[in-house]
Amino acid sequence: MAKKNSINNEMVETVNHNINNHNGHGPGKEMLRDLRIMLLARAIDIKAMNLLRQGKTFFHIAGSGHEAIQVVVGTSLNPKKDWFFPYYRDLTVALSLGVTPYEFFLQCFAKAGDPSSGGRQLPGHWGHSNINIPSQSSPTGTQYLQAVGTALASVKTGNPYITYASSGEGTTSQGEFHEAINWASREKLPLLFVVENNKFAISVPVSIQSGGKAHSISEMMAGYDNLLRLKIDGTNYLECKKYVNQALEYIRSGLGPVLLEAEVVRLQSHSSSDDQRKYRDPKDLEDDLKKCPIEFLSKYMIDNEIISKKDYEDLKKGTTDEINKAADNAILAPDPKPETAHKYVFDESGFKDSLDYENSTPSGSKIVMVDAINHALNEELEYNKKMFIFGEDIADSKGGVFTATKGLSTKYGSQRVFNSPLAEASIVGVGVGMALAGFKPVVEIQFADYIWPAFMQIKDELVTYRYRSNNNWTAPVVIRVPVGGYIHGGLYHSQNIESIFAHVPGLYIAFPSNAADAKGLLKTACRLNDPVLFLEHKGLYRQSFATTPEPDDNYLIPFGKAKVVRKGTDLTVISYGVCLWDSLFAAKKLEDEGYSVEVIDIRTIIPLDDETIFNSVRKTNKAIVIHEDNLTAGFGAEIAARISDNCFRFLDGPVKRIAAKDSHIPYSSILENEILPNRKVVYKGIKDLLEY
């Protein structure tokens, strides 16, 4: 880390001395501190663009014109206790919280020591493990729900620290912004929402974005009873001080969240990839320059003899020198090593392998799968006091639409087991925020068919946290999801989703086919340090053939360990879920005909137990993969490809697949039976390959 510029520090001390002589105490010192931070941010914007023009960097997104509101907010909060979800233009916020110019340039040059991501993310994606800034991402608006999660977590610990979340006005068109306002207002959470309204979402003016009165974001949110709405001049430092103090007092009094709409100016283009002169009126650009927050504050300080013109010029020169020195030092820092590019997709601490797996044989009373899941959740709530469960209709007396959570809210209270709004993105996004704060959220999406509003939170947020932060942050949320057909559920209560989510790096996926496996895998999921998608087939919840003796409360099953549920020598079946049972019934029938069929239950999609599959295929020399999802791009295609790649010389026939037809699933049982694999189809498919 670069040393601070000693000349600049001496100059600041000199100016401090002058200020103290003028007014004798703090306000002038605060003002000078804030002016200096604003000048640092402006100097960084200028330097970063110069470096880009020189071909030394590739991207910059400027905050020029936003500095006043940002410095006031940043210096008014506690970087060690409060939480921060700044958006890409929040350079001055980051500096105010303690991010150094040298660290900014480490990010700018994509250096290994970049504290936000180790060179994995674009500049402006703030993150710091020594400050409560979880590594931020590019999608706009997703951070708001995570901010709700950290605010909710702080309330549940009895330490209602403030969470700050910001964006431009364009982001407020996103549904997740509205979901966050709704949750925070309903719960009176300690949240400061700051919308920095520069009136342009890249090239689209706010008049085309916002339906609020006079296109105001705060007016658009007028219906929320506990939400304090403030609209201020975000370029006026004095006005910012007044209203930020008012906002924080409101939040700390427990009255609810605050939406602060700060009208600012965008003095540079949206980013280094944009040229606003192509779509903005030259006069508008000139008018914006007249509202420069640095010009406002420096003039005020000079006019009121808080600082002299010479001191101000010295201050500007000192900050420019400091920025130049920081950039010069940062460009010499080590680059990331190529071999680290794939690290930290999952936890690499060894914790997963340290757990005590399968240390007993399930020997309790017979139990159906849905009750095994309920018991696993109950035991893990008892085991981990930081575990929370929430989702739609999961609290008593409903206890979930399938009763998987029945009794839990009664036993553990609504503080730990509670209903969420009917909003899937909220369920996952808030879970992410709680996990960042050190809790273990186990959330439920009521049906797989409705998980898609949460896909952004899962694909771009949940699973990328560890990787994008270079192992500084992680969000080990468990997402329970009922899946599958055969229940006359029609198009929207029958979907299988494993193949789509298997394509998402950083996400473990479990898909148990019986009660004991469901309990053992779910308990493991609740203890892992990585996100888990836990798929539960609705058709197996109370199915007699999926019933097993119940494991004890210490029973864990490792992810990535398949189970050979029937041994054989003539052919290998690889399956999971309901189709695993269809395969077993077919294997028993074929045994009567003189065939020996080995059946493997993979149990987890990610990680996949290749070794068990390959060893079986090398023995039997034939393989067929059977699953309920669509044939095209179903997960069976991945398994078949791996078998072909690794076992080709052992094969005595093609690697076959049996799956659902490439269609939606209809309500009529006659039609559904035509689309989904059934016992007759499974039996015939296996026998055809045996006779190949």
H or E element in which residue 434 lies: helix 424-436
Find all residues with CB under 8 Å of 573, minimum gap 6, and list them. Answer: 583, 586, 587, 597, 598, 599, 600, 623, 624, 625, 626, 686
Mark whether 503 is an active-site residue. Answer: no
DSSP 82: S
Q: Which of 301, 330, 275 is nearest to 39 (CA)?
A: 301
| Relative orientation angle of helices 142-156 and 424-436, to the nearest 10 degrees | 60
Calpha distance 463→507 (Å, rounded): 6
Residue type, 303: D
Whether the CB-CB separation of 95 and 37 falls below 8 Å is answered with: yes
Cα–Cα distances (Å) from 446 to 449, 494, 520, in that order, read 9, 12, 21
DSSP 457: I
> Does residue 539 come out as left (phi exceeding 0), alpha (psi in the -120 to 50 range) or beta?
alpha
DSSP 458: I
Q: Which of 171, 229, 162, 179 is nearest to 200 (CA)?
A: 171
Q: CB 504: neighbour CB atoms within 10 A?
A: 18
The two structure tokens encoding residue 432: 């992410």
Considering 493, 503, 627, 664, which one is annotated as catalytic?
Answer: 493
> Does residue 55 come out as left (phi exceeding 0), alpha (psi in the -120 to 50 range) or beta?
left
Calpha distance 429→404 (Å, rounded): 22
Calpha distance 601→511 (Å, rounded): 10
Catalytic (active-site) positions = 493
